[in-house]
A and B are shown apart, each in its own frame.
Chain A
Amino acid sequence: MSVLAQTQQDALNLFEKIGLPTQRDEDWKYTDASRLKDLLESKVSGASVDIHNLGITELDAYRMVFINGVFTANESNLPQGISIESLATFETSNDNNEKELAKLFQVSSSDPLMNGFAAYNAATAKDGAAVCLKDNSKLDKPLYILHVSNQSHVIRHGLMLGKHAEAEVIEHFISLGEDKALSNATTAIILKDGARLEHSRIQQEGKSQSHVARVEVKQLANSSYTFHGVELGGILSRTDLVVDLHEQGASCSLNGLFVLGGRQHVDHHTRIDHTAPHCTSREHYRTVLDGRSHGVFNGKVMVHEGAIKTDSNMSNGNILLSKNAEIDTKPELEIYNDDVKCAHGATIGQLDDKQLFYLRSRGISAEAAQELLTFAFADEVLVAMSNQTVRSYVEKAAFAKLPHSDDLEGLLSE
């Protein structure tokens, strides 16, 4: 049995042992996963999907396209001489870095936020991106991973950045059709000494589709990880984001934005482990909730024994546009150490009356003023995105979800 096959068998054993989470699990208290049970299994069919004009077409990037979880080479565009390939073929390679990549497929019941979906993902994933950047290499263009689906599928990406390697990776999830389906996606990341990764995930599944994701990041000395999680689509979406600041001087910045309406339910659980001294973490999540939508944010920072000079700051801001929308927010901090600087906080509110009046007094209608302030609130998270093409795409998509968007058409061209 190959190393990977053995790893997947172990994951299957774990899945069978722990099963899917229920609302009795503290970490799943607000998210009812039972309705996803029947959607778990990948459906493989030959149905062709037209992906023409889908995704961020104007982005100058390397592309990997996965249709229903299967790599589609003729829609993709990969760089020469850099190891970016489909997981389905990665086993045959011998390169040292790629052996380490196999470790990214290991799961253990002791991993933070481990659950049945993540174990099932590791056990059954057949494809995904396998990205290995050698020491000191820099990906000259972003890697854009576009997922298009109309059925349930499982996908698992592994990203390994060697020492001082740099990359930007954008994952984008779009689904077509009206069938209920589940995307089960994991991205496992290792950043070696001094490596830098900017990683965006844009969730734009269809109205009937659900999304369960896990992003796990292990950071070695002085590495830097920036995450932008954008939740716009889907009926139920859950992401577990697990970052281990494993060696001295590592830093992470986690940004999240939910713009929800209707009966959408989005839940992000994040966990940052300050394992080593002199590490920095920043977390900034904002949600805009309309209709009967429900947002859940749980951010936990663990400062372990010995992690002196930890610098951690977490904030979560929420705006409820409707009286039926709901947010459950819980920033958590556990510190087993002196000599740290940690702050966290959450706000829940409506728009500011003084700001609304100011805008109206300048001739902006009440509806447009409300929308402008809502958009500005959401956009404060997107400011951290360094890729302006991606940011602009997300702004337009988020903006389109807000009420009265016609009044402020000129806003995004500024």
Chain B
Amino acid sequence: MIEIKDLHVSVEGKKILKGLNLTINAGEVHAIMGPNGAGKSTLSNVIAGRDGYEITGGSITYKGDDLLEMSPEERAWAGVFLAFQYPVEIPGVNNTYLLKAGVNAKRKHQGLEELDAFDFMKTVKEKAALVELDPSFLSRSVNEGFSGGEKKRNEIFQMAVLEPSLALLDETDSGLDIDALRIVAGGVNKLRSPDRAIVMITHYQRLLDYIEPDFVHVLADGVIQKTGDKSLALELEEHGYDWVKENK
């Protein structure tokens, strides 16, 4: 689904990613772990198309196309979704309207009819139930006045409605208490499917107890240092990141 080759990225002249390689196939769940400043968020932001990152080398091929040539909205239409680490509040923009506009823009791009308002609301309510999001949140402004946990839940709810092919979850577990984590993880598990890839970016092994990854990668110093299965996460938890660098 996505193939990242020798990716070099700088932010304000500082090299963050230094030749990163990563291939992700449909149906797989990957976890990218690593210390602060390793470039985890940079990677997810670059995939989603955020401004402010200078690509100094390498390529990202997504479903056969050059992802780096696409605008953020084109990436969304092609099925890329980023669940933000810090979802922004947007006063005055209704949560449901945002999704309806997003879903219909994607459908329009695919040459499909816009969704009927009734069908759309039905879908939205079903998906809200998936992450136990109170229906009152649907008519509120995007993230405005939401608690940290509610914001994260809202991200996974949006993912459920937008049905991406590639979902990047950027520290979705941070700021969640154990009950909220269980609910959010439950929602993500229900969204696992053979034609969808999920990438979790996290500091902690905790999330992986709830969402079991097929692959675990350790990102440090701008490259993937080590790849393994979920046992790698447990080893990391025990030995720390320095152990990875010493045992490449």
* Interface of A toward B, CB cutoff 8 Å: 352-355, 357-366, 368-369, 372-373, 375-377, 379-380, 408, 410-411, 414
Task: Report yes or no: A360 in contact with B93, Cβ–Cβ below 8 A.
Answer: no
Measured CB to CB, the closest approach of chain A to B108, in angstroms, equals 10
Q: When A366-B73, A410-B100, A414-B97 are in contact, do A361 and B82 touch as well, CB less than 8 Å?
A: yes
Q: CB-nearest residue of chain A relative to B143? A: A358
Contacts of B105 in A (CB 8 A): 363-365, 368
Q: Which of B82, B91, B96, B104 contacts A380 (CB 8 A)?
A: B91
**New A-B pairs, 14, CB < 8 Å, besides A355-B90, A373-B90:** A357-B50, A357-B51, A359-B93, A360-B72, A360-B76, A361-B48, A363-B101, A364-B101, A365-B73, A369-B73, A377-B92, A380-B91, A410-B104, A411-B101
Task: Report yes or no: A362 in contact with B88, Cβ–Cβ below 8 A.
Answer: no
Task: Report yes or no: B72 in contact with A361, Cβ–Cβ below 8 A.
Answer: yes
Measured CB to CB, the closest approach of chain B to A218, in angstroms, equals 34
B106 interface contact, C-beta 8 A: yes
Task: Report yes or no: A355 in contact with B88, Cβ–Cβ below 8 A.
Answer: yes
B205 interface contact, C-beta 8 A: no
B202 interface contact, C-beta 8 A: no
- CA–CA, A75 and B182, complex, Å: 64
Q: Which of A353, A363, A365, A408 contacts B162 (CB 8 A)?
A: A363
- CA–CA, A375 and B76, complex, Å: 23
Q: CB-nearest residue of chain B relative to A410? A: B100
B146 interface contact, C-beta 8 A: no
Chain B at the A interface: SS class: helix
Task: Report yes or no: A359 in contact with B98, Cβ–Cβ below 8 A.
Answer: yes
Q: CB-nearest residue of chain B relative to A376? A: B92
Task: Report yes or no: A414 in contact with B96, Cβ–Cβ below 8 A.
Answer: yes
Q: When A376-B91, A380-B92 are in contact, do A361 and B76 touch as well, CB less than 8 Å?
A: yes
Q: CB-nearest residue of chain B relative to A357? A: B50
B94 interface contact, C-beta 8 A: yes
Which of B75, B77, B81, B88 has the largest count of A CB atoms less than 10 A from its CB?
B88
- CA–CA, A327 and B90, complex, Å: 24
Interface size class of B (residues with CB under 8 A): 35 or more
B34 interface contact, C-beta 8 A: no
- CA–CA, A289 and B116, complex, Å: 35
Contacts of B77 in A (CB 8 A): 363
Contacts of A364 in B (CB 8 A): 73, 98, 101-102, 105
Contacts of A353 in B (CB 8 A): 51
- CA–CA, A380 and B97, complex, Å: 16
Q: When A355-B88, A360-B72, A362-B162 are in contact, do A372 and B49 touch as well, CB less than 8 Å?
A: no
Q: List 3 tightest A-B contacts by C-beta distance, closest first.
A: A376-B92, A363-B76, A363-B102
Contacts of A361 in B (CB 8 A): 48-50, 72-73, 75-76, 81-82, 84
- CA–CA, A366 and B76, complex, Å: 12
Task: Report yes or no: A357 in contact with B72, Cβ–Cβ below 8 A.
Answer: yes
Contacts of A368 in B (CB 8 A): 101, 105
Contacts of B16 in A (CB 8 A): none
Task: Report yes or no: B82 in contact with A363, Cβ–Cβ below 8 A.
Answer: no
Chain A at the B interface: SS class: helix
Q: When A358-B84, A361-B48, A361-B49 are in contact, do A410 and B92 touch as well, CB less than 8 Å?
A: no
Q: List 12 A-B contacts (CB under 8 A).
A: A352-B88, A358-B88, A361-B72, A362-B98, A362-B101, A363-B162, A375-B92, A376-B91, A376-B92, A379-B92, A380-B92, A410-B100
Measured CB to CB, the closest approach of chain A to B30, in angstroms, equals 20
Measured CB to CB, the closest approach of chain A to B143, in angstroms, equals 9
B145 interface contact, C-beta 8 A: no
Q: CB-nearest residue of chain B relative to A411? A: B97
Task: Report yes or no: A414 in contact with B88, Cβ–Cβ below 8 A.
Answer: no
- CA–CA, A366 and B94, complex, Å: 18
B87 interface contact, C-beta 8 A: yes
Q: CB-nearest residue of chain A relative to B100? A: A410
Measured CB to CB, the closest approach of chain B to A4, in angstroms, equals 46
- CA–CA, A362 and B164, complex, Å: 10
Task: Report yes or no: A408 in contact with B48, Cβ–Cβ below 8 A.
Answer: no
- CA–CA, A411 and B96, complex, Å: 10
Contacts of A352 in B (CB 8 A): 88
- CA–CA, A411 and B93, complex, Å: 9
B56 interface contact, C-beta 8 A: no
- B142-171: CB near A (< 8 Å → 1, else 0) gives 100000000000000010001000000000
B103 interface contact, C-beta 8 A: yes
- CA–CA, A183 and B51, complex, Å: 48
Which of A358, A363, A368, A410 has the largest count of B CB atoms less than 10 A from its CB?
A363
Q: CB-nearest residue of chain A relative to B94? A: A414
Measured CB to CB, the closest approach of chain A to B55, in angstroms, equals 17
- CA–CA, A32 and B73, complex, Å: 45
B71 interface contact, C-beta 8 A: yes
Contacts of A411 in B (CB 8 A): 97, 101
- CA–CA, A358 and B97, complex, Å: 14
Q: CB-nearest residue of chain B relative to A383? A: B92
Task: Report yes or no: B101 in contact with A410, Cβ–Cβ below 8 A.
Answer: yes
Q: CB-nearest residue of chain A relative to B90? A: A355
B181 interface contact, C-beta 8 A: no
- CA–CA, A271 and B92, complex, Å: 28
Contacts of A369 in B (CB 8 A): 73
Which of B77, B91, B104, B162 has the largest count of A CB atoms less than 10 A from its CB?
B91
- CA–CA, A142 and B40, complex, Å: 58
Task: Report yes or no: B90 in contact with A363, Cβ–Cβ below 8 A.
Answer: no
Q: When A377-B92, A410-B104 are in contact, do A362 and B99 touch as well, CB less than 8 Å?
A: yes
Q: CB-nearest residue of chain A relative to B92? A: A376
- CA–CA, A364 and B91, complex, Å: 17
Contacts of A414 in B (CB 8 A): 94, 96-97
Contacts of B99 in A (CB 8 A): 362
Contacts of B96 in A (CB 8 A): 414
Contacts of B103 in A (CB 8 A): 363
Q: CB-nearest residue of chain B relative to A381? A: B92
